[in-house]
A and B are shown apart, each in its own frame.
Chain A
């Protein structure tokens, strides 16, 4: 049905891997009268080397080389100054042409815009999601797991379809505008701007904030709050002195889970922003697939990876135990 064929050397490689693995098991059986259990991880290790380590090395390789494979830092200089290549050309043409040299900031601007949007999205998700998680964890509510399931169900729907569904609400002839006109107002342009992109991002990532916070809040012993109130705290002080600090691991993990995918999202801006708003993910994708410039694209990916690692490191400072649980 599908083209299942791989090049001959791929089969050779697989065969070699299998032979080595079987040989290792045979040796282990000889020496230890049984399979050493740590050998079980060998297929996985080999797999990860081929499909994670080598691809990462490839990204780094392309980032530091030019189209001919020679070492260069030009891709990174191109990041800071998107007219870098053109400027080099002008400079080589001498005095007269050098007047045209102008620094381009497209890439940096896109990065700053993405970080700003991701930051806004994280803040909004925290402001909307924290109270929701707090109320969900409230034992007086007696709704318990039903409400959790209600929050999970929308996430099961394909996120592309959910984002597309917003189009029919937001567009010029969409439901919101119809409602506005029916109420006697003028229609407003809701789509194809940063606001729509932000809405789409908050919509998609809000559950990632609610769940970790809810988990850390529902694990709290209710006796702690009661004790604080017995000792004379009012409700607000109980919250700020007891509940909020103890929910911090959940908040950190929520921030991580919202911020990381927001910076790198590339579908939402394209659908709801209509190409007017480019984010860093779009930039990387277009470098690879539209321009076919693997070298600059790889450099951008590398910059993104470094940024993510830095922010993860910073966030981990606040939650060294990894108590927030995160995705797992």
Chain B
């Protein structure tokens, strides 16, 4: 009984995983298909990979995506960490008010966030493009940074900051030598979260940029309307492999740290 139960459980999980992976496998296989047709296998080739690196629009979009993600993540991390420290030091009432303000963009559907920002840019006649996309990404990233830093601040010993001040540290010194080291883990988590959210975002970018400045998601969207471009299969395969490698490295490192 126990054995068949265990087998059934593994079988069920296997089916769910099969469902999750099947489109990815199909995409990887097709990226090596020599022909353009999705339906027919015309032999193995690296043709789409070669075309990928010569496709200006894809390479541009990749550049935009990474640049936006890095800039937005850095600014959001600074803004969010400072905000978390500030909010934590506030009185109860203003603290809960600030947390409500932080929760608004997280509960709003992406499409409403995107549209409200688009209205802001249209209303103020700011031309949409790279800068507006970065601003939008900072806006939806920062609350996530705050929510990763906040728990670390709450875990911290309340009195260590005061103790540092009593022992003669200036507030700035106490901040950089007492508070920041204690919450570093939360800051790193927040920064990583912000970076990945920004890399993956489609809806908000779609409404806050112009067709001239596209990130990968909006480019894929505009290409998908015309019909599938096999270079996209090659691109996604490369991204998938890159992520896998990153995952293995991170796992190794945490395993080493634990040991």
In the bound complex, do residue B22 and residue A169 qualify as a contact, i.e. CB atoms below 8 Å apart?
A: yes
Please give me the residue from chain A that is nearest to B108 by CB atom. A305
Residues of B with C-beta under 8 A to A4? 130-131
In the bound complex, do residue B13 and residue A47 qualify as a contact, i.e. CB atoms below 8 Å apart?
A: no
Task: Given A38-B90, A160-B224, verify A153-B106 contact (CB < 8 Å).
Answer: no
Task: Judge if A70 is at the interface, Cβ distance under 8 Å.
Answer: no
Please give me the residue from chain A that is nearest to B16 by CB atom. A132
Tell which of A36, A44, A45, A165 touches B26, judged by Cβ atoms closer than 8 Å.
A165
In the bound complex, do residue A260 and residue B109 qualify as a contact, i.e. CB atoms below 8 Å apart?
A: yes
The chain A residues found within 8 Å of chain B, CB to CB, are: 2-4, 6-7, 10, 34-45, 47-48, 50-56, 58-59, 62, 128, 131-132, 135-136, 138, 140-141, 147, 149-151, 153-154, 156-162, 164-169, 171, 173-175, 178, 203, 206-207, 260-261, 263-264, 266-267, 270-271, 281, 284-285, 288, 294, 297-298, 301, 304-305, 308-309, 312, 327-328
Per the bound structure, the CA–CA distance linking A298 and B116 in Å amounts to 8
6 contacts between A and B (CB under 8 A): A55-B120, A158-B217, A168-B23, A264-B111, A266-B203, A281-B111
In the bound complex, do residue B98 and residue A271 qualify as a contact, i.e. CB atoms below 8 Å apart?
A: no
Per the bound structure, the CA–CA distance linking A42 and B85 in Å amounts to 11
Residues of B with C-beta under 8 A to A135? 9-10, 12-13
In the bound complex, do residue A167 and residue B228 qualify as a contact, i.e. CB atoms below 8 Å apart?
A: yes
In the bound complex, do residue B108 and residue A158 qualify as a contact, i.e. CB atoms below 8 Å apart?
A: no
Least Cβ–Cβ distance between A60 and chain B, in angstroms:
10
Per the bound structure, the CA–CA distance linking A167 and B224 in Å amounts to 10
In the bound complex, do residue A160 and residue B220 qualify as a contact, i.e. CB atoms below 8 Å apart?
A: yes
Please give me the residue from chain A that is nearest to B25 by CB atom. A165
In the bound complex, do residue A166 and residue B38 qualify as a contact, i.e. CB atoms below 8 Å apart?
A: no
Please give me the residue from chain B that is nearest to A202 by CB atom. B19
In the bound complex, do residue B144 and residue A59 qualify as a contact, i.e. CB atoms below 8 Å apart?
A: no
Residues of A with C-beta under 8 A to B10? 135, 141
In the bound complex, do residue A151 and residue B83 qualify as a contact, i.e. CB atoms below 8 Å apart?
A: no
Could you list 7 further interchain pairs (A-B, Cβ under 8 angstroms) beyond the known A168-B39, A263-B109? A2-B213, A48-B142, A141-B6, A154-B24, A160-B217, A304-B111, A305-B108
Residues of B with C-beta under 8 A to A301? 111-112, 115-116
Residues of A with C-beta under 8 A to B124? 7, 10
Per the bound structure, the CA–CA distance linking A56 and B27 in Å amounts to 40
Task: Judge if B86 is at the interface, Cβ distance under 8 Å.
Answer: yes
Per the bound structure, the CA–CA distance linking A304 and B109 in Å amounts to 9
In the bound complex, do residue A284 and residue B135 qualify as a contact, i.e. CB atoms below 8 Å apart?
A: no
In the bound complex, do residue B139 and residue A47 qualify as a contact, i.e. CB atoms below 8 Å apart?
A: yes
Per the bound structure, the CA–CA distance linking A36 and B91 in Å amounts to 12
Tell which of B9, B39, B224 touches A178, judged by Cβ atoms closer than 8 Å.
B39
Per the bound structure, the CA–CA distance linking A298 and B118 in Å amounts to 11
Per the bound structure, the CA–CA distance linking A308 and B36 in Å amounts to 43
In the bound complex, do residue A175 and residue B26 qualify as a contact, i.e. CB atoms below 8 Å apart?
A: yes
Task: Judge if B249 is at the interface, Cβ distance under 8 Å.
Answer: no
